[in-house]
């Protein structure tokens, strides 16, 4: 377990101005609060917040995030209180600790509706301060590293599935690629242990068969770039078992048919050098068709920038290559955490500047319940993307398989609601036509148009689906309201009375209705008969 002075030294190694006294006080406070508590592994519970803080120091997060990591379980699992934390550490720390505390209940939930509600809280907390998510991801990473100590296999599987479906995609969305990869692989080991074991065995066999293949490829790539006058740092690695398995599933191929299991990274000084290096690589080695992607010209929504290409490289090996500058590499590895490094003068105050997070907040507004929000959010986060353009050249990122209706809702909710047609690259096309990378899409709208319920069959974004379902619910409610009024009107007349909605005020509590309109809708839906409603309302 990391000692107090070691943690302080780690933080001060990248942030000499960090509040050493506050970190020391948080360390001691957390150690005393957790006392003799033990984890499932048999280790002292205090080892967990220390490990979480240690993970965050690797990404050079600010002192407030480190202190939050030390304190993140004290409110939930000890006698410590929020007023006590605020008195000792201030308003910023208590706000962050409270945000993480509210989320720490997620993994304890077996009930799907409670899990969905907690995820809704996670998105709200992220929108207030993205550091809440950074601490939560580090917390989840350490919990996944020690998952094997939990004896209940159902609980292990539930935590692994939640990690794969929620936390790994969130890590990817904020550019935490290293944490995303480890979370995926740890969850994969729990969910599909036999498959992972088989892939690891095959990778070991290839490694033994190929000897120092990666070293030989690296040597030739370095020599090729140096010969062309491009100064570069070249590194190589095998893809993780999970990324290999996912590619096998997506392409529906066996392990033997996958030849690009090795990835190589080229770091250069400038953007111009990126394209020079690409030109050298493509002129020397045959390019694999459809494998080139330019994320420098068109960055990913999480800020990721790099050139990607696939080539038949040294020794005729099919390899993937990423070409980027040192700054791009920092963002690729740290993502949003790169903006929280001590060296950044201006730090973002919240998470609302991230488009994907604004999209989640918009979905939350239109989803009817937490379960629907969770469903739409998974759609939004867990898919590969295509990049399309508006006629003005604005970039719109969408999940693969998205259509013009998804595009319209991504531009603006009102544009989606009023969409009647679309031109893709200047040609009128059916609204359900899947979009491809680089498509220019012009949405044609009409004030008389309303969302078409049939759109729900082919849209793929959570935002579009949430808006369409909301419209359907509103339309259905209006129809049930008219029908309920007609039924009640007839029932009242049969009793010799005129129907008025005001006359239902006195029976709202009897039927457990929030409003008269809700009661009339219940009659229209058939959950309550008009006769019962009229008889309870008419005075004896």
The pLDDT tens digits of the residues spanning 295-332 come to 998 887 777 899 999 898 888 888 889 999 998 888 87
Average of pLDDT values for 143-166? 90
The pLDDT tens digits of the residues spanning 504-537 come to 877 777 787 888 888 888 888 888 887 777 777 6
The pLDDT tens digits of the residues spanning 267-290 come to 999 999 999 999 999 999 999 888
Q: Establish if 350 belongs to a structural domain.
A: no
Shared domain for 460 and 532, answered yes or no, is no
- Name 379's bridge partners: none
Q: Is the pLDDT of residue 338 over 70?
A: no
Shared domain for 155 and 28, answered yes or no, is yes
Shared domain for 68 and 96, answered yes or no, is yes
Kindly report whether the global pTM for this prediction surpasses the value 0.95: no
Q: How much is the pLDDT for 119?
A: 64
Query: Which range, of 59-68, 134-143, 432-441, 501-510, averages the lowest pLDDT?
Result: 501-510
Catalytic residue of the set 77, 86, 98, 128: 77
What number of other Cβ atoms are within 10 A of residue 331's Cβ?
23
Shared domain for 280 and 241, answered yes or no, is yes
Distance from C-alpha of 327 to C-alpha of 254, rounded to nearest angstrom: 37
- Name 319's bridge partners: 311
Q: How much is the pLDDT for 309?
A: 93
Q: Is the pLDDT of residue 499 over 90?
A: no
Which residue is associated with the tokens 């790994």?
Answer: 168
Shared domain for 203 and 289, answered yes or no, is yes
Q: Is the pLDDT of residue 3 over 60?
A: yes
Average of pLDDT values for 360-387? 59
User: Is 77 annotated in the active site?
Assistant: yes
Q: How many independent structural domains does the chain possess?
A: 4
Listed in sequence order, the DSSP H helices in 211-240 are 213-227
Shared domain for 215 and 67, answered yes or no, is no
**What's the pLDDT band for 378 if we cut at 50, 70, 90?**
low
User: Is 384 annotated in the active site?
Assistant: no
Shared domain for 460 and 475, answered yes or no, is no
Q: How much is the pLDDT for 349?
A: 43
Mean pLDDT of all residues in the chain? Answer: 83
Sheet holding 233-238, edge to edge: 233-238, 262-268, 318-325, 307-312, 293-294
Q: Establish if 347 belongs to a structural domain.
A: no
- Residue 433's nearest CA partner among 414, 461, 458, 463 is 458
Q: Is the pLDDT of residue 31 over 70?
A: yes
Shared domain for 27 and 167, answered yes or no, is yes
Distance from C-alpha of 391 to C-alpha of 172, rounded to nearest angstrom: 29
Shared domain for 22 and 154, answered yes or no, is yes
Q: Establish if 377 belongs to a structural domain.
A: yes
Q: How much is the pLDDT for 344?
A: 44
* Residue after which a domain boundary falls, among 307, 340, 373: 340
Instruction: Tell me 150's DSSP state.
Output: -
* Residue after which a domain boundary falls, among 411, 433, 464: 464
Shared domain for 12 and 38, answered yes or no, is yes
Domain CATH for 296: 3.30.460.10
Q: Is the pLDDT of residue 164 over 90?
A: no
Q: How much is the pLDDT for 379?
A: 47
* Residue after which a domain boundary falls, among 283, 311, 340: 340
**Boundaries of domain holding 482:** 469-537
Radius of gyration of the chain (CA): 28
Listed in sequence order, the DSSP H helices in 353-503 are 355-366, 370-381, 404-411, 413-417, 462-494
Size of the chain in residues? 540
Task: State the helix-helix crossing angle for 462-494 and 530-537, rounded to 10 degrees.
Answer: 60
Distance between alpha carbon 162 and the CA centroid of its chain, in Å? Answer: 12
Catalytic residue of the set 20, 43, 76, 442: 76
Shared domain for 231 and 296, answered yes or no, is yes
Widest distance between CA atoms in the chain: 100
Shared domain for 283 and 388, answered yes or no, is no
- Residue 279's nearest CA partner among 229, 216, 218 is 229
Distance from C-alpha of 494 to C-alpha of 161, rounded to nearest angstrom: 57
């Amino acid at each position: 377990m990391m000692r107090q002075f070691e943690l302080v030294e780690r933080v001060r190694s990248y942030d000499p101005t960090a509040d050493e006294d506050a970190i020391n006080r948080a360390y001691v406070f957390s150690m005393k609060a957790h006392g003799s508590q033990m984890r499932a592994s048999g280790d002292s519970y205090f080892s967990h917040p220390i490990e979480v803080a240690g993970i965050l120091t690797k990404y050079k997060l600010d002192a407030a995030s480190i202190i939050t990591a030390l304190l993140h379980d004290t409110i939930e699992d000890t006698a410590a209180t929020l007023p006590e934390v605020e008195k000792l550490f201030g308003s910023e720390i208590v706000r962050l600790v409270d945000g993480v505390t509210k989320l720490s209940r997620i993994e304890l939930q077996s009930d799907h509706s409670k899990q969905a509600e907690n995820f809704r809280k996670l998105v709200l907390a992220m929108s207030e301060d993205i550091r809440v998510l950074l601490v939560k991801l580090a917390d989840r990473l350490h919990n996944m590293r020690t998952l094997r100590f939990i004896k209940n296999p159902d609980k292990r599987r539930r935590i692994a599935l939640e990690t794969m479906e929620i936390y790994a995609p969130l890590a990817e969305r904020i550019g935490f690629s290293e944490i995303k990869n480890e979370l995926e692989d740890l969850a994969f080991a729990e969910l599909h242990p036999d498959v992972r074991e088989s892939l690891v065995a095959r990778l070991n066999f290839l490694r033994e068969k190929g000897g120092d293949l990666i070293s030989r490829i690296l040597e030739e790539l370095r020599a090729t770039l140096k010969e062309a006058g491009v100064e570069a740092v070249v590194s190589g690695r095998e893809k993780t078992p999970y990324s290999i398995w996912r590619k096998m599933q997506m392409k529906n191929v066996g392990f033997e048919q996958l030849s690009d299991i090795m990835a190589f990274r080229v770091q250069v000084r400038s953007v111009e050098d990126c394209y020079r290096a690409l030109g050298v690589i493509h002129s020397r080695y045959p390019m694999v068709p459809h494998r080139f992607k330019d994320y420098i010209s068109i960055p990913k929504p999480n800020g990721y920038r790099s050139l990607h290409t696939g080539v038949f490289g040294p020794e005729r090996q099919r390899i993937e290559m990423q070409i980027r500058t040192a700054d791009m590499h920092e963002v690729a590895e740290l993502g949003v955490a790169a903006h929280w490094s001590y060296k950044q003068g201006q730090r973002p105050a919240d998470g609302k500047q991230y488009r994907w997070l604004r999209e989640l907040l918009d979905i939350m507004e239109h989803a009817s319940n937490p379960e629907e929000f969770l469903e739409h959010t998974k759609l939004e986060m867990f898919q590969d993307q295509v990049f399309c353009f508006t006629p003005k050249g604005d970039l719109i990122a969408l999940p693969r398989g998205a259509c013009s209706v998804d595009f319209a809702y991504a531009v603006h909710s009102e544009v989606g609601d009023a969409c009647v047609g679309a031109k893709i690259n200047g040609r009128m096309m059916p609204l359900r036509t899947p979009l491809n990378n680089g498509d220019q899409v012009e949405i044609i709208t009409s004030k008389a148009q309303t969302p078409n319920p049939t759109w729900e069959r082919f849209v793929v974004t959570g935002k579009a689906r949430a808006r369409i379902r909301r419209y359907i619910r509103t339309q259905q409610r209006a129809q049930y309201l008219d029908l309920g009024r007609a039924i009640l009107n007839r029932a009242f007349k049969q009793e010799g009375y005129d129907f008025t909605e005001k006359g239902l005020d006195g029976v709202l509590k009897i039927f457990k209705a929030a409003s008269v309109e809700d009661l009339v809708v219940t009659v229209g839906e058939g959950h309550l008969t008009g006769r019962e409603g009229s008889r309870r309302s008419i005075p004896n």
